[in-house]
Amino acid sequence: MQRSIPRSALVGACVAALTALSAGQALAAVTATTVAATAVKATSATLNGTVATDGSATPWQFGYGPISNAFTGTFTPNEVIPAGGSGSTPVSATVTNLIPATTYIFHVAATVGQLGSTLTVVDGLPPLTFTTKGAGSAALTSTKLKVAHGRVTVAIKCRSTIPCQGQLAITKRASGKKKPVACGSTSFTVKPGKKKTFTTGKLSGRCAALLAGATNGTISAHLEALFSSYQKTISKGVTLTEVVSALH
């Protein structure tokens, strides 16, 4: 499949390859073929393809994205098949920061055209897909949290093959209020297979007042963690145990 784009839309590596040609020389027609991905892991994969030329310098790259939201501007850096070769050339690029257990769609694209005119991108269609491996799970392990010196502590267990990263929030739903009150938050990073305790910032405002007014020293609250490394949220109910002079 071919699509035309303005010359100015290409990134520097593509333009640099074209400027090496004489002003009147046309780039040879190319064909691009997308080949199955390899070395697929939880957060990375190697994208493969072939680009056939007749010896002209030819820029190429891969476009990829989750199949649910594909081709939203995610591309590998431009690379160039040097002039002088002929026939079909294998090309590949390793992509990282992928989401575990997610299906991706991808295709290779090569550029052909004439210097100073509209350039044409040749896409290796149909595109192919691959699914990243699962990375395990993450868990919020605490059911009883101490409130000491105006701060809340919480434990997070990372049951995965990649680090658990994200933002933790503790909330309390006030009586008669529709929206919960934030009772503290903190960012977290836990190594795979490890458990770590984190402490929130000091409680203040309405949240501090709610905790101070709790009966029997316990407060029902909600623990919510946005795991950015999985792009999902895990939440659970917890009990906060207030210790003496907790908010002082």
246 or 121, greater pLDDT: 121
- Percent of the chain past pLDDT 70, that is, above it, reads 73
* pTM of the predicted protein model: 0.62
- Asked if CATH classification 3.40.50.12780 holds for the domain at 136-242, the reply, yes or no, is no
- Please, which pLDDT band fits residue 113 given cuts at 50, 70 and 90? low
Return mean pLDDT, the chain. 76
CB 67 within 8 A of CB 103: yes
- Please, which pLDDT band fits residue 121 given cuts at 50, 70 and 90? confident
Architecture of the domain delimited by 2-131:
Sandwich (2.60)
Per-residue pLDDT, 23: 28
- Is the pLDDT at 247 greater than 50? The verdict is no
What is the number of other CB atoms lying within 10 angstroms of the CB of residue 166?
A: 20
Return the domain boundaries, the chain: 2-131, 136-242
CB 36 within 8 A of CB 48: yes
223 or 216, greater pLDDT: 223
- Please, which pLDDT band fits residue 14 given cuts at 50, 70 and 90? very low
Question: In the 8-state DSSP scheme, what is residue 215?
Answer: G
- Tell me the residue ranges of DSSP E strands in the chain: 2-5, 31-38, 45-53, 58-66, 79-81, 87-95, 103-113, 119-123, 128-131, 136-140, 144-148, 151-160, 164-172, 181-190, 195-199, 218-227, 232-242
Average pLDDT over every residue of 99-122? 78
Instruction: Give me the count of residues in the chain.
Output: 248
Per-residue pLDDT, 236: 76
Average pLDDT over every residue of 67-77? 77
- Is the pLDDT at 11 greater than 60? The verdict is no
- Is the pLDDT at 20 greater than 50? The verdict is no
- Please, which pLDDT band fits residue 246 given cuts at 50, 70 and 90? very low
Per-residue pLDDT, 232: 75
- Percent of the chain past pLDDT 90, that is, above it, reads 23
- Is the pLDDT at 182 greater than 70? The verdict is yes
